[in-house]
Amino acid sequence: MAGYSKIEYFRVPPRWMFVRIESTGGYVGWGEATLECHDEAVEGALSHLIRLYTGWPTDNIEDLWQAAYRTGFYRGGEVLMSAIAGIDIALWDLKGKRLGVPVWSLLGGLVRDRVQVYCWIGGDRPDDVAIQAIEKKQAGFKAVKMNATEDLARLDSPAKLQASVARLKAVKDQGLDAGVDFHGRVHRPMAKQLAALLEPLHPLFIEEPLLPGFVPEIAAIARQSGIPIALGERLFTRQDFRPYLEQGAVDIVQPDVSHAGGISETRRIAILAETYDVGFAPHCPNGPIALAASIAMDLTLPNFVIQEMSWKIHYNVGADLLTYVKNPDIFKVEDGMIKAPLGPGLGLEIDEELVRKVAKDHKPWEGSFWRGEDGAIREW
């Protein structure tokens, strides 16, 4: 049975972490371990896992996942789960290539032959959303997502929420559906007001209405509002999602395959959510490998609803979704959807030469933060 002969990772622009695994049989799989703002922490975790698991059988994906997750005494958390994700995704890709079948075939086969997608408009301080909505509609999209607000004080002027309503109306006027991301930057006193103001405009969903951890408080907003509640990019295991599901705090789970332990655990989260009649809409403002891995799951899961993609997102400075992809048509959007890839593995052809070239000098991606008028730090 083939084992790993080499496991490598590459930090590449704009803010992504790619993982490459080569088997003793000569097959290569690519994964993604992107964790925004924490490149060096993930690199440390990857170095540790590489030392432990180089030489293990490449076929035994679940065995390695369990070992990486359970045998270090401390488990879970965004850093470890992102490192595991990079290796896990690469192993699924490698196995599909070795067997000559798509990853979606290994996961049980198709329940649909295309997936609905959305992309971003606006930015961290959202503006020009109507113009960008037109651009995305012309590119084939039927849905978009945007930040709800700029930074807000814990209790701010209600007048600051009116711009959020105007932006959503401007996008809806272009004939597009729109998800509205509170991004955890809207605190409880303002979140209740904003949800009530947006509800008459029927957003596709509101995302992270409060920061992770406020489970009863999010459940209260869910009871108050008829808008679907989406969350989960900062939750990393089934155990993390469990209280939100049990308390009725979520309508759409959004685990990120590059944060939540890869295909293996993200798929289990989706299956758990289905038992609560909760939809699955993977978070993915990251790179092409994470998107391809997400699509492989989307094609096989009955409760999938819509897929995020990072094409022209405001974070993509220095590289964009297709920069490292030799077969960009794999992500072609037609009538708001992407077709199932037919190639082996994830169906993605990565430009390895370019990856190696740009990784040599790329510095860790640093996030930013905001301060309010009083000098206090605000949520980003």
Residues annotated catalytic, as ranges: 183, 283
Cα gap 231→52, rounded to integer Å: 33
Q: Report the length, in residues, of the chain.
A: 380
376: CB partners within 8 A, 6+ apart: none
Q: Which helix (H) or strand (E) holds 28?
A: strand 28-32
| Identity of the residue numbered 127 | D
Nearest Cα to Cα of residue 243 among 264, 221, 214, 222: 214
d(CA 262, CA 14): 21
CB 145 within 8 A of CB 120: yes
Q: What distances in angstroms separate CA 74 from CA 68, 69, 71, 212, 268, one per listed residue?
A: 10, 8, 8, 20, 20
Task: For residue 32, give the nearest of 253, 239, 260 by alpha carbon.
Answer: 260
Interatomic CA distance for residues 72 and 195, integer angstroms: 42
